[in-house]
Each structure stands twice: as C-alpha cells, then as structure tokens.
Amino acid sequence: MTKTALVVGASGIVGSAAADLLAAQGWTVHGLARRPVERAGVKPVAADLQDAAATAEALRDIDPDAVFITTWLRQDSEAENIRVNSAMVRNLLDGLPKPTGPRHVALVTGLKHYLGPFEAYGKGSLPQTPFREEQGRLDVENFYYAQEDEVFAAAARDDFTWSVHRPHTVIGLAVGNAMNMGTTLAVYATLCRETGRPFTFPGSAAQWSGLTDMTDANQLARHLLWAAQTEAAHDQAFNVVNGDVFRWQWMWSRIADWFGIEAAPFDGTVRPLEQQMAADAGLWREIATREGLAEPDLARLASPWHTDADLGRPIEVVTDMSKSRRLGFTGYQPTDDAFFALFERLRAGRLIP
C-alpha cells in the first residue's frame, strides 16, 4: 500500500530533499509551504502555519502516515522565536485530521539544542563535546525546546509516534533560505574571484583549527525516512551528521580549489561575512545580469549572518551519532563531496557562474 507523507517546509533545504526522497521511494507526498513551488512528485499545499484556521482548512483532507516538520521562522528575539515557532507546530498538529492509523511525526531542530539560542549562542556552561542525545536541555529558553514540547503534547493526545532530528549545519539547495552556508560560501567565493579580493576565512581560530562536522540535506532526508520506518527509532531524539569530521583549515582550501582561487592565509582575526559582503548586492546584480543568472538578489542566495554564527563559534563542535548507528542507520556522506555536489547544482541551475 502506498504511504502518504506531509512535508512541512517543502520548499526549504531539508524539506525539498525529504520530499524528493519520499517521492522517489513511492510515497504520496504533500508539500506544505506558505508559497509552494512546483516539484515533481509533490502535491502542493499552501498554508501559513501562523493562521490556525487556514492551516486546518488546508489539511482537512490529508491523513498522512508520516509528517516531517522542517520549517521555522526567525524572529527578532528568542521570546518571539518561541512564541511564533511553537504556535506553528501547535497549529499544524491541531489542524491535522485525527490519525485513522499509525502516524509518525518527525521534527527537525539542530545543535542549538546543545549550544543555546542565537541570543546566547555558544556561551555560558555548555555540554561536553561530542554532543550526545542524553545530554539534557540547557537552563535557558530555547524555541527548539518549545517545538519539542508541542510535539510531545500532541503525541500524547493523538497517540502518534515521534522523532526529533538534530543536524549540524545543513548543506543543501534552496533559494531564499535563512540558514544556507553552502550557497553563501559559493557566492562569497564567486565575488572574491570576480574582484580579486582574498578568499578569507571569516570565523574564529577555534573553528579554523578544531574538529567539526556538518549534515548534507540528503543524509538528513535518509535519516528522517529511516526513523519513520524503524520502530526502535520511535519516540527518540537523534543527532544526525554526515559521519566524517574535518578542520576548516583543510576544507577552506578544498572550496577555494573548486572555484579556482587561492585560500588566503588565516591570521586568527575574525572577519565576519556580514561585513565583508555588506556592499556586494549591486555587484552581484551586475554579475547576474552579465552571466544570465537565475537570481540577481544577493539576499535570497546568501545568509552571511548564519554562516558567521557557525564559523565564529569559540568552541570546537563535534556531534556523536552512536545512537543512530546502534539502531541500524548506516548512512554516510563525505562533507567535501556534499559541498562540491551543491556547487555543481548551483552552477547547473545558473545560480552561480
């Protein structure tokens, strides 16, 4: 029997990868977004999750076997992040018809579960690395915790299973995404190549020299599907990363080589991309016009603030995946290959020259 999935945030980095995988696996896929984009094998559902009544109306004829929540809306404060994003999850789960059979709900959050919200990111007393799922919540307000609590409450009420997925920085393709390091670095490298500016690592010495890991969107999609279909993974929280570790002093040169430029020496000074790219919108529009690129708006491609937050962390961040491995998830993705595959897709889609 064909299974039915609802992917929430289907136009985003994670949601689009999950929707593509589910469709390829033969699922009937409904893709919810405020402004759905056409996607092969995905039935569009237009809904603003901040509007409870409109969400319920959009979902009234959908009875999914699995729901994948991959979206959030950034606000100006953590208090607003909590209010808005918890309400979105609550409106979604309240708006779905009650399950007529087994249902699984997967929620994608991230390592801010361990690092704290943006307002206190990487500060204060943090858990020991590698981060492990059994490490408890920090003693600080965090919209990830509020989202989890909405899922837990609805699961108890409606008797569905759940899983929580905590990726590190996600590599994937989505235009207009607020957390998009891969495309941000591709745009930055293109600008450096165009102007002759040095391709300078923007972050901290701890990130340059320390070990880290990342999560490819396709790896995360495979993990989401695995958890939904694996009984032992139900009602569990999981870290999910590619499976390799690297140092940015190595990866930075790998990225530079792909774009045919030199990686600038790193002297330990933090040089945020938000500052380096602050005046580049006009230049990018000129490049886009000259090269016939699909997106001339720099702000829809690059998210320097988010890349700065990750690369500027003062601590080494490594993630443990032993819990998933013990339960049978064997997915693996070399991170440099993930970057290169993204760059090829960006070029093929005429998003970079």
> Which residues are annotated as catalytic?
112, 144
CA distances from 64 to 38, 51, 69, 98, 251 (A): 20, 20, 13, 10, 40
Chain centroid offset of residue 196 CA = 31
Strands 211-212 and 246-247: antiparallel
DSSP letters of 26-46?
A: T-EEEEEESS----TTEEEEE
Closest CA to 315 of 240, 211, 215: 211
Nearest Cα residue to 254 out of 149, 159, 337, 167: 337
What is the dihedral sign for C-alpha 240, 245, 251, 252?
positive
Torsion angles phi and psi, residue 237, rounded to 5? -110, 140
Distances (CA, A) of 319 to 215, 316, 341: 10, 10, 23
Residue 44's beta-bridge partner residues?
A: 31
Dist CA 96 CA 161 (whole Å): 15
